[in-house]
């Protein structure tokens, strides 16, 4: 059964409420996570001279915003949680847009790259095609989208007070291709573990040139 507007509003409110209530704890637990592999995967596929304009989609407390800025790029954060947005601004000195993922308002053909690290899995599957089209539209022609999500077999629902959707590689490819993206690469994380213990699917996609 499709989710109705009231159910979608509840998903957003409860999930963001969880992050609001646990913002400092989440920051303390994740700030030292090493995602250099993911940052490098995005940057190596962006064509043209640096610095790059990058949208950190679901930037959380700002760890990766700060990393992109320290690398000399021009990142902008996007975050649904006001507490995370405030943390991200303080940590990085970057602009952070406060928007929930189901009500985006993004400039057209603006960014060289979109970095969606552990964020798009919060989008209900029925809304994912629209959200991906909006990310496609905010990229410049030739721009690059990076995503990393916990992988699964099509499960969707609540995990505590957070809503998520878990896609396998085949389903994820279908969604991104339908939105107009062309696959550049994919890999599983964490590095160095057997495939059955690599619970994250990372992939990189390009918006074709006009």
The per-residue b/e assignment along 180-190, b for 16 or more CB within 10 angstroms, e otherwise, is ebeebebebbe
Count the Cβ atoms, other than its own, within 10 Å of residue 131.
Answer: 19
CB-side exposure of 161: number of CA atoms within 13 Å? 10
**Quick one: which of 7, 2, 4 has its CA closest to 125?**
2
Compute φ and ψ for 155, nearest 5 degrees.
-65, 150
Cβ proximity of 86 and 80 under 8 Å: no
The domains found in the chain, sorted by start residue, are 5-206 (3.40.50.150)
The span from the CA of 98 to the CA of 81, in Å, is 7
User: Is 0.85 topped by the overall pTM?
Assistant: yes
Q: pLDDT (tens digit, 0 to 9) for every residue of the chain, 210 residues total?
A: 799 999 999 999 999 999 999 999 989 999 999 899 999 999 999 999 999 999 999 999 999 999 999 999 999 999 999 999 999 999 999 999 999 999 999 999 999 999 999 999 999 999 999 999 999 999 999 999 999 999 999 999 999 999 999 999 999 999 999 999 999 999 998 888 888 888 999 999 999 997
């Amino acid at each position: 059964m499709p989710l109705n507007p009231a159910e979608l509003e509840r998903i957003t409110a409860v999930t963001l409420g969880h992050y609001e209530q646990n913002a400092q704890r989440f920051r303390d637990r994740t700030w030292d996570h090493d995602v250099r592999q993911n940052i490098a995967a995005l940057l190596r596929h962006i064509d043209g001279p640096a610095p790059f304009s990058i949208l950190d989609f679901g930037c959380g407390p700002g760890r990766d915003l700060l990393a992109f800025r320290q690398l000399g790029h021009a990142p902008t954060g996007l975050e649904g949680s006001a507490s995370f947005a405030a943390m991200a601004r303080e940590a990085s000195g970057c602009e952070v847009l406060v928007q929930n993922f189901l009500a985006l308002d993004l400039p057209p053909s603006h960014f060289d790259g979109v970095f969606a690290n552990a964020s798009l899995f919060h989008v209900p599957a029925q809304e994912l095609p629209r959200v991906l089209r909006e990310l496609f539209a905010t990229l410049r022609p030739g721009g690059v989208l990076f995503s990393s999500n916990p992988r699964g077999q099509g499960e969707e629902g609540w995990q505590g007070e957070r809503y998520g959707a878990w896609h396998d590689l085949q389903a994820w490819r279908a969604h991104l291709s339908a939105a107009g993206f062309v696959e550049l690469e994919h890999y599983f994380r964490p590095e160095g573990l057997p495939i059955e213990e690599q619970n994250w699917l990372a992939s990189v996609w390009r918006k074709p040139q006009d």
